Chains A and B, each alone.
Chain A
């Protein structure tokens, strides 16, 4: 990884520390600065409220010319998070053709928070969950809350 990229990640980390978005904690290891661990609280008022989710952010070698890779390490019942052991996300900013180099990780974190409040149904990675969200909101909420209890406490 280039010196410029390292400098940029350091600076972004500094900015995140200066004003961490509410409900988040970032674990940063200076020896391995390309992998961040983020602890995110389920936003109040959302079905995930009360849950604590562990996320992993990997910065590729080409960062910031390629987007960071985000994955949920805590299982979550969500249309935009893959329902497997990877918990990967691929939408909006996180897509290589959408990402622009001046975009910041903080924006990515905010995006995730807002998706937890309101999923993006049109760009779902789990069509069956998206469908349930659309057709049978009650069932979706029950399942999501169930998973919070099971995995995210």
Chain B
């Protein structure tokens, strides 16, 4: 009952929140549409807010492959005109210096020859384009063919090979080794880089595409403010200004065009509110400990004398520690000698030595249990997040059924979709609040955090429960469900804003040091 009151009282402010947004949106062109649908897409409105940034949000921009190629080309053109080098050579120079324009221009002005040499462009690329030719008396140093009709190719460095071998060489480098920006001339000891014009001349279209794809990859890889979306088969890259050194003050979650939420700092799935270093430590701990710790907790006790962990492997309660030979009772943990012959019922529970032993054990257990407390909740939300896909699919089916049985329109059942997505997002956040809480020192701030966590969790469980209801009841729950959805989303925003603000100010006290 308590929780219901809580929910209702906060509901009023939840409406405020909605109204707030509407008035915001009212200033935009599509206000009519939004007013009509004002009870439907809370989620989408949230995203459309744009200029009103929450404390936990960061600025970012998503690029598609054409845009990446475009910005690459623009920079090449720009630098090319400054240096007076052809675009192919400029591209090589830029890649050589990992797209650091300023450094390239500096070093070029400083010592032109040196930088050209180190980038594999020795003896300034002249203006005549690369071409395939036949050369009398030529023997290919790779395949040893000497047919005079052989097509051959060489770059400015003059290392000439037959076109077939050149092609095979490039094929091996690109297809098998995934090289692109730094393929060197096949000539023995030659460091000249194969430029893209020469490459285009030599290889088939399919390989050319792969080559340019790899070139684009290195562009994104080389730039600190760009990162590939890690979702499988996603082609987008995200630009974000958050630097590595800021990652203890900010958790830069970005949202890709493909709808995947990930952390710009470490590429893992969205882990707000926990900062990257904490996540890393937590994941490592889970990997090392969880299974083992669970088992230890369930099946073992520590020897009261030397604290060795002991598994009971027989029925008898008379234990002898293998390590220190201490004899004790498995039931009460007391010294065995005090048991006399009455051990079978273990009526010695109140004995002093036994209770001391239990105290010591309780302490070592406590740290384990503390960890398991957080881990179990973390794992539970993770598990639920995994089930999200099922929930989502079921939701789609329910939406179909609702449309069929009640005659509701497509737009009228969208609230289920919105609810399901909000649920997924909140669970993802909740999961990481437990890792975050595990490392928090106990203070007032932590208590506020735990209250926020509790509120969000309660809201999520309330909403989650509604999803289990049979289809015929769902229609009647529409308003309630929409309320609960917006409440969940609101609680999440509150929690994330609170953690993000305090993180930025360095207010959190942790019980460990993060590297």
Cβ of B172 and Cβ of A11 under 8 Å apart? no
Cβ of A96 and Cβ of B169 under 8 Å apart? no
**Smallest Cβ distance from B142 to chain A, in angstroms?**
4
A64 in the interface, Cβ–Cβ < 8 Å? Answer: yes
Per the CB 8 Å criterion, the residue count for chain A at the interface is 15
Given that A65-B169, A65-B172 are contacting pairs, would A102 and B141 also be in contact in the complex, using a CB cutoff of 8 Å? Answer: yes
Nearest-CB residue, chain B, relative to A11: B144
The interface centre, meaning the residue of A66, A101, A103 with most chain B CB atoms within 10 A of its CB, is A101
**Smallest Cβ distance from B186 to chain A, in angstroms?**
5
Given that A66-B172, A96-B177 are contacting pairs, would A101 and B144 also be in contact in the complex, using a CB cutoff of 8 Å? Answer: no
A134 in the interface, Cβ–Cβ < 8 Å? Answer: no
Given that A7-B143, A7-B144, A8-B144 are contacting pairs, would A100 and B168 also be in contact in the complex, using a CB cutoff of 8 Å? Answer: no
A4 in the interface, Cβ–Cβ < 8 Å? Answer: yes
Cβ of B188 and Cβ of A100 under 8 Å apart? yes
Cβ of A64 and Cβ of B142 under 8 Å apart? yes
**Smallest Cβ distance from B184 to chain A, in angstroms?**
8
**Smallest Cβ distance from A8 to chain B, in angstroms?**
5
Cβ of B142 and Cβ of A101 under 8 Å apart? yes
A66–B171 Cα gap in the complex (Å)? 12
B232 in the interface, Cβ–Cβ < 8 Å? Answer: no
In the complex, what residues of A have CB within 8 A of residue B165's CB? 4, 101
A62 in the interface, Cβ–Cβ < 8 Å? Answer: yes
In the complex, what residues of B have CB within 8 A of residue A4's CB? 143, 145, 164-165
B130 in the interface, Cβ–Cβ < 8 Å? Answer: no
Cβ of A101 and Cβ of B145 under 8 Å apart? no
Given that A8-B142, A8-B144, A96-B177 are contacting pairs, would A62 and B172 also be in contact in the complex, using a CB cutoff of 8 Å? Answer: yes
Cβ of A102 and Cβ of B168 under 8 Å apart? no
Cβ of A102 and Cβ of B188 under 8 Å apart? yes
A62–B177 Cα gap in the complex (Å)? 13
Residue-wise interface mask of B (149-182) relative to A, using a CB-CB cutoff of 8 A (1 in contact, 0 not): 0000000000001001100110010001100000
A97–B177 Cα gap in the complex (Å)? 9
Cβ of B169 and Cβ of A101 under 8 Å apart? yes
Given that A66-B172, A96-B177 are contacting pairs, would A102 and B143 also be in contact in the complex, using a CB cutoff of 8 Å? Answer: no
Cβ of A103 and Cβ of B188 under 8 Å apart? yes
A42–B188 Cα gap in the complex (Å)? 28
**Smallest Cβ distance from A111 to chain B, in angstroms?**
13
Cβ of B177 and Cβ of A101 under 8 Å apart? no
A62–B144 Cα gap in the complex (Å)? 16
**Smallest Cβ distance from B138 to chain A, in angstroms?**
13
B407 in the interface, Cβ–Cβ < 8 Å? Answer: no
The interface centre, meaning the residue of A4, A96, A102 with most chain B CB atoms within 10 A of its CB, is A102
In the complex, what residues of A have CB within 8 A of residue B169's CB? 65, 101
Considering the complex, which residues of chain A in the window 73-118 have a beta carbon less than 8 Å from any beta carbon of chain B? 96-97, 100-103
Residue-wise interface mask of A (125-138) relative to B, using a CB-CB cutoff of 8 A (1 in contact, 0 not): 00000000000000
In the complex, what residues of A have CB within 8 A of residue B143's CB? 4-5, 7-8
Cβ of A100 and Cβ of B187 under 8 Å apart? yes
In the complex, what residues of B have CB within 8 A of residue A5's CB? 143
**Smallest Cβ distance from B295 to chain A, in angstroms?**
36
B189 in the interface, Cβ–Cβ < 8 Å? Answer: yes
A101–B164 Cα gap in the complex (Å)? 12
Nearest-CB residue, chain A, relative to B182: A97
In the complex, what residues of B have CB within 8 A of residue A66's CB? 172
Q: List 22 A-B contacts (CB under 8 A).
A: A5-B143, A7-B143, A8-B142, A8-B144, A11-B144, A62-B172, A64-B142, A65-B168, A65-B169, A65-B172, A66-B172, A97-B177, A100-B188, A100-B189, A101-B141, A101-B161, A101-B165, A101-B169, A101-B186, A102-B141, A102-B187, A103-B188
The 4 closest A-B pairs by CB, nearest first: A102-B141, A4-B143, A65-B172, A101-B142
Query: Using a CB–CB distance below 8 Å, which chain A residues touch chain B?
Result: 4-5, 7-8, 11, 62, 64-66, 96-97, 100-103
| Other A-B pairs beyond A102-B187, A102-B188, 18, CB < 8 Å | A4-B143, A4-B164, A4-B165, A7-B144, A7-B145, A8-B143, A62-B176, A65-B172, A96-B177, A97-B177, A100-B184, A100-B189, A100-B190, A101-B141, A101-B142, A101-B169, A102-B186, A103-B188
